[in-house]
Amino acid sequence: MKNQSIKNTVRFLFVAVILCLLSFQALGDEVLNNSSIIDLQKIGLSEATIIQKINTSKCNFDTSVSGLKQLKAANVPDNVIQTMMSGGATSVPATGASVVAVSDVKPLITGDVNNPNASHELGIWLCQIDGGKTRMTEMEPAMFGAMKTGSGWGLGWGGSMHTRVALNGPKATLQLTERKPVFYIYFGESTLNGATSPSEFTLVKTEVKKDHDVESRMIVTGKINAYSGSSMGFDEKAVIAFDFEKIAKGAYKVTPKADLADGEYCFCQGSFAGVAAGGAAGKVYDFGVAGAASK
């Protein structure tokens, strides 16, 4: 029993150290450069994960001809290089979103709140058409609770452990039957909690898990392995791609690229590190989809 207690204590301390390293990594003042991107490419991170890291980090890239040759020689994907050339701007969002350009953007009008082209309170709004009438519903933001981790068993033998953040309850208050719901994000003249574009949001499908008979909706924010080290980021399988279109100054129409399966979803503002850290960057807009046949 004593030996088992010692083993448990060692595992706990190992996990605690790893989590501290993850926290410092998320909050550090690192600056990405060409070598950083090549290193991320070499360890096998996906294109979407590298782009997400660029979009949420301070960057100092060499995009001269020689710099581009170096990146290409290291097999860095073109989409990643294009994001580097834009300084981590929104031309290639980590969410998988594609930008639909509008050549002549008009200002929002004043009037009916159920008119998507009218001025609205800052935030994300759901747009539904019922009986030929448009109805706009403001989505209430929620916050993630504490970080969750696995038990840590197997870490010493090459196993892996995921870190997650949780939303209370198995379901969001807002439940939809539309497979491709339409949303509008209004940033106004300034920002929405610091964000200025839909590319700064990630649409994620959550996992409903039970812990001590309490069900929560969880999102993976990192992975720890005793041998290969730690990595941070949303699970690529959970990230849902969406399109967005600028309809007016500070206003965008957002639509999932494909029909959504039954399940619980949320728009996360900021990076996985911001979500895990909480605060304004950890604010999410959640909803569920169930009970409708695909069109």
pLDDT digit string (tens) for 10-61? 454 444 444 454 444 444 457 888 888 998 888 888 888 888 788 777 888 8
pLDDT at 172 over 70: yes
* pLDDT of 252: 93
Residue 92, φ and ψ in degrees, nearest 5: -130, 80
Exposed/middle/buried for residue 63 (C-beta within 10 Å: 0-12, 13-18, 19+): middle
Q: Confidence class of residue 205 from pLDDT cuts 50, 70 and 90?
A: very high
What is the model's pLDDT at position 87?
55
Contact residues for 233 (Cβ-Cβ < 8 A; gap 6+): 45, 49, 52, 53, 221, 222, 272
Least confident stretch, 99-113, 264-278, 281-295: 99-113
Provide the mean pLDDT of the chain. Answer: 74
Mean pLDDT of 92-101: 43
Find the farthest-apart pair of alpha carbons in the chain and give their distance in angstroms, rounded. Answer: 73
What gap in Å lies between CA 6 and CA 14, rounded to an integer? 12
pLDDT given at position 61: 83
Residues in the chain: 295
Is the pLDDT higher at 189 or at 285? 285
Q: Are 59 and 31 in contact (CB under 8 A)?
A: yes
Q: Judging by DSSP bridges, how do beta strands 58-59 and 31-32 pair with one another?
A: parallel
Domain map (residue ranges) of the chain: 120-289
pLDDT above 90: percentage of residues in the chain: 23
Judged by DSSP in three states, 101 sits in coil
pLDDT in tens, 139-168: 998 877 655 555 444 444 445 666 778 888
Please say whether the beta carbons of 218 and 166 come within 8 A.
Answer: yes
Q: Which residues pair with 31 in a beta bridge?
A: 58
Averaged pLDDT for residues 218-223: 77
Beta-ladder partners of 254: 183, 244
